[in-house]
Structure 1
Amino acid sequence: MELRQLEYFQMASRLKNITRAAERLRVSQPNITVAIKKLEAELGIQLFDRSQKQLSLTPEGTVFLNRIEMALRNIEDAVLEVNDYKQLQKGTIKIGIPAMMGAYLFPKIFSNFQKEHSHLDIYLYEEGSIAIREQLERDELDFGIVILTDASSNLQLLPMSKNQILACVPPAHPLANQKSLSMSQLEDCDLIMLKEGSYIRQLVTKEFKKDNTKPKTVLESNQIETIKGLVASNVGIAFLLDVIVKDDPTVKAIPFAEPLYVDLGLTWKKDRYISRAAQSFIDFCKKNL
């Protein structure tokens, strides 16, 4: 049994798709297929139920996955710890960040951190807050700069700021002069929503349901400048954080009658080994944010 086989099996199990697992691991699809079949032959069991369109684990496969995930995590932590001793001045940090914060919050953080720690390599992964928190749970990222609200108890949280979600309407829109808006006022409006995996989308959708209002979504995008441009062009109404639209003359940002707030901050997995590179980022954020 090889470590590579276990890693291939783990990724295929997470993504429920051999092709996507191959893309994520940057290997060919046949390599993963062959490795998993050899693993099944060695164990004498079938790990995957291949009778459905989507790859799914057999009961035996589920038990095996639960066991090897802990083993692989321990191996990864051991490698990180050894590398800390071997390469005191080198390291990598993998950070997940939503598009909304990536464009406006992270550049300043990154530039200041890089000045102090130019020897470290930083890799950014752009996803929604919910998706990033899930990737942290699966040990695919070191950190997430995300919305902390309703985060798992398995994650360590470092709050940075409290922000308000605002309804952004075109300056010439009939609602533009309103001081605040209710969900019912938006029922017949064309809406531009963030994509699935965004906590803001999830929260706004929940508020619509509470109000028994059915929103009319005409577009979905995670590109913030695109969304703002669409709002300014009178395509629809969007929901963005106050920090994004502050002093922007192209849109009119209006709070909700019952204000919606979210907490932004840094988060990481509690039980993971924290490398020196990762600890330097935590210390920087505590000091500066």
Structure 2
Amino acid sequence: MELRQLEYFQMASRLRNITRAAERLRVSQPNITVAIKKLEAELGIQLFDRSQKQLALTPEGAVFLNRVELALRNIQDAVLEVNDYKQLQKGTIKIGVPPMMGAYLFPRIFSSFQRRYSHLDIFMHEEASMSIREQLERDELDFGIIILSGASNRLQLLPMSKNQIVCCVPESSPLAKKKAITMDDVADTKIVMLKEGSFLRQTILGRMKAEGITPNIVLESNQINTLKGLVSNGVGITFLLDMVADETPGLKTLPLADPIFVDVGLAWKKDRYISKAAQSFIDFCKDLLKKDHSNKADAASPAQE
């Protein structure tokens, strides 16, 4: 039994598709097919039920996957720990960032961290917040900057900022005269929205569904500037976090009449070994938060004579 066979089996199980697993692992499809067949022959069991359209684990395969997941995670952690003992001067951090945070929150964190830890490499993966949560739980990322609401208890969370979901409307729209927006106000309005997998999209659509409103979504994009540009040009309205929507020409931001507040922060898997590189990133983010709180406290204090 080879480590490669276990990795191929794990990915095929996760994606339920040999072709997609091959693409993710950057190997040929026959390589994965042959490896899994050899694994089944060695174990003397069938791991997948191939009678269905979508690849499905047999009961024996599901039991085996649980053990394989744990074994591969332990191997990954062992490699990280050995590298730390070797006191390498080089380290890597894989972090998932949603488009909204990628454009407005992450650059500040990244630039400051890189100046302090120039010997560490950060690889940023831009994904929707819900997708990042799933990748963290599958040990595919070290960290994610996500909306923390509803996150799994298997994730360690470090809140970094509290934000409000706002409605963005064209300045020329009659809605721009309102002080706050209800879902009824936008029931018949064209909406441009973040794509599937976005926590913000899921939240707004959930609110609309609860109020019996069917949204009129005319365009979808994960590019925040594209959404704001579409709103500014009168294509429709959108919903964003206040930190990214403020001070945009041609666009008016309005709070929701029934406000929705969300915490944005850093998340990582609880039961994983934390490498020195990863720990340095956690410590850096904590220091950054302390400085921000200190600066806000100083700004709020009356000037001393």
* TM category, shorter: over 0.9
Quote the residue 1:181 is aligned against.
181
Give the match for residue 277 of structure 1: 277
Where do residues 188-227 of structure 1 align in structure 2 (5 Å cutoff)? 188-227=188-227
1:42 matched to 2:42? The reply is yes
Deviation at 1:52, TM superposition (A): 2.3
**Which ranges of structure 1 fall in alignment gaps of 5 or more residues?**
none
Identity percentage of aligned residues: 72
Q: What's the secondary structure of 1:33's corresponding residue?
A: helix
Counterparts of 1:121 and 1:30, CA distance in 2: 34
Distance 2:170 2:45 in 1: 60
- SS of equivalent to 1:257: coil
RMSD, aligned α-carbons = 1.0
Q: Which residue of 2 aligns with 1:55?
A: 55
**Paired amino acid for 2:129:** S
Displacement after TM superposition at 1:184 (Å): 1.1
Deviations 1:101-126 (A, max 9, x none): 00111111101100011111111111
- In the alignment, the residues of structure 1 paired with residue 189 and residue 98 of structure 2 have an alpha-carbon distance, to the nearest angstrom, of 26
Q: 2: CA distance between counterparts of 1:30 and 1:237?
A: 48
Normalised TM-score (structure 1): 0.98
Aligned counterparts, 1:1-289, within 5 A:
1-289=1-289
Per-residue deviation, residues 223-275 of structure 1 (Å, max 9, x unmatched): 11111111111111111110101111231111100111110000101110000
Q: What TM-score does the superposition give when structure 2 sets the normalisation length?
A: 0.93
Aligned AA for 1:95? I
1:159-181 deviation line (CA, Å, top 9, x unaligned): 00000111111111121111101
* 2: CA distance, partners of 1:176 / 1:15: 45
Amino acid at match of 1:256: L
Do the aligned partners of 2:232 and 2:249 also contact (CA within 8 Å) in 1? no
User: For each residue in 1:119-150, what CA deviation from the matched residue of structure 2 results, as whole angstroms up to 9, or x when unmatched?
Assistant: 11111111111111111111111000010011
Q: How far apart, CA to CA, are the structure 1 residues paired with 2:237 and 2:20?
A: 34
Deviation at 1:87, TM superposition (A): 3.8
Task: Write the distance in 2 (CA, Å) between the matches of 1:169 and 1:208.
Answer: 17
SS in 2 for 1:132: helix
**AA of the residue aligned to 1:251:** L
Counterpart-to-counterpart distance in 2, 1:41 and 1:242: 56
1:27 is displaced (CA, Å) by 1.3
List per-residue Cα deviations over 1:157-208 (Å, max 9, x = no partner): 1000000111111111121111101011111111111111111011111111
Give the aligned length: 289
User: One-letter code of the match for 2:48?
Assistant: F
Distance in 2 separating the partners of 1:162 and 1:189: 28
Distance in 2 (alpha carbons) for counterparts of 1:226 and 1:18:
35
Q: Tell me, what secondary structure is at the counterpart of 1:175?
A: helix
Q: Which runs of 4+ in 1 moved over 4 A?
A: none
SS of 1:23's partner is helix
Instruction: State the one-letter code of the partner of 2:226.
Output: T
Query: Given residue 30 of structure 1, which amino acid in structure 2 is its aligned partner?
Result: P
List alignment gaps of at least 5 residues for structure 2: 290-305
Aligned equivalents of 2:258, 2:151: Cα separation in 1: 22
Report the CA distance between 1:53 and its aligned residue.
2.3
Amino acid paired to 2:29 = Q
Aligned-residue offset at 1:88: 3.0
Distance 1:269 1:65 in 2: 19
